[in-house]
């Protein structure tokens, strides 16, 4: 069942990624990018990362793609302004370059398959495990210390929030400064000179 979901979502994401980079009209590319991000959010959910799946929907699909669509529609490009595409042979060479990259990395992953675990570790549920552990926020969580299984609330919002605010608070604050810088920069760059 999880395998079927993963195969369907991965096919959807690859097909929509190909549809991002190939069409003529950038709006179709933006809409395909939206589909790709939705399918990746589904895969994130399968990877026990519910907080990041929702963040992907809110930040990426909800803000970045909307920004792209706004800018594309605001610029209102004529076909003459969009420019010509490169020739067929140039695109073929690029296809072989990217294909070589994909094949090279896939062969590397396949060769190192013995070093990678062949199944994801399971989540500790109440039937299997009894040890509870108190997290920093004072919540109680099921943890299995013998086998390598992940805690029960892995990837949930309180857990990610704990690690974001305790060890990694400095990157968190720096990223908020970065976003302010980006907003100011975008406003300055697009101001009309009056």
Partner 1 sequence: MFNLSSCLILSTVLFAVGVWGVIARRNLFFVLMSVEVMLNAVNLAFLGFARCWGGVGSLEGHRGHVFVLMIMAVAAAEAAVGLAILLALFRTKPSVDADEMNLMKS
Number of residues that bind partner 1 (CB under 8 A): 96
Q: Which residue, 130 or 185, has its beta carbon nearer to partner 1?
A: 185
Residue 83 and residue 97: Cα distance in Å, rounded? 23
Phi, psi of 129, rounded to the nearest 5 degrees? -130, 145
Query: Least distance from C-beta 33 to partner 1, angstroms?
Result: 5
Query: Least distance from C-beta 74 to partner 1, angstroms?
Result: 8
Residue 115 and residue 129: Cα distance in Å, rounded? 27
Residues of this chain, 106-165, that bind partner 1 according to CB under 8 A:
106, 109-110, 113, 116-121, 133, 135, 141, 143-144, 147-151, 154-155, 159-160, 162-164
DSSP three-state, residue 110: helix
Site string for partner 1, 5-44 (x = CB under 8 A): -xx--x--xx--xx-xx----x--xx--x--xx--x--xx
Full 3-state SS string of 135-168? CCCCCEEECCCCCCCECCCCCCHHHHHHHHHCCC
Q: Which residue, 75 or 130, has its beta carbon nearer to partner 1?
A: 75
């Amino acid at each position: 069942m999880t395998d079927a979901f993963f195969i369907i979502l991965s096919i959807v994401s690859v097909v929509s990624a190909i549809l991002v980079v190939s069409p003529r009209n950038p709006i179709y590319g933006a809409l395909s990018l939206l589909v790709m991000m939705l399918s990746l959010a589904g895969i994130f959910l399968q990877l026990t990362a519910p907080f990041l799946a929702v963040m992907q929907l809110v930040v990426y699909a909800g803000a970045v793609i909307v920004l792209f669509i706004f800018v594309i529609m605001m610029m209102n490009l004529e076909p003459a302004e969009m420019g010509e595409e490169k020739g067929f042979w140039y695109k073929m060479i690029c296809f072989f370059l990217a294909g070589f990259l994909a094949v090279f990395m896939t062969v590397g992953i396949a060769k190192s398959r013995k070093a990678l675990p062949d199944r994801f570790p399971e989540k500790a549920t109440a039937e299997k495990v009894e040890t509870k552990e108190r997290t920093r926020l004072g919540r109680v969580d099921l943890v299995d210390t013998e086998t390598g299984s992940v805690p029960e609330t892995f990837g949930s919002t309180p857990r990610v929030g704990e690690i974001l605010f305790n060890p990694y608070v400095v990157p968190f604050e720096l990223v908020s400064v970065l976003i302010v810088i980006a907003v100011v920069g975008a406003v300055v760059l697009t101001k009309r000179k009056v």
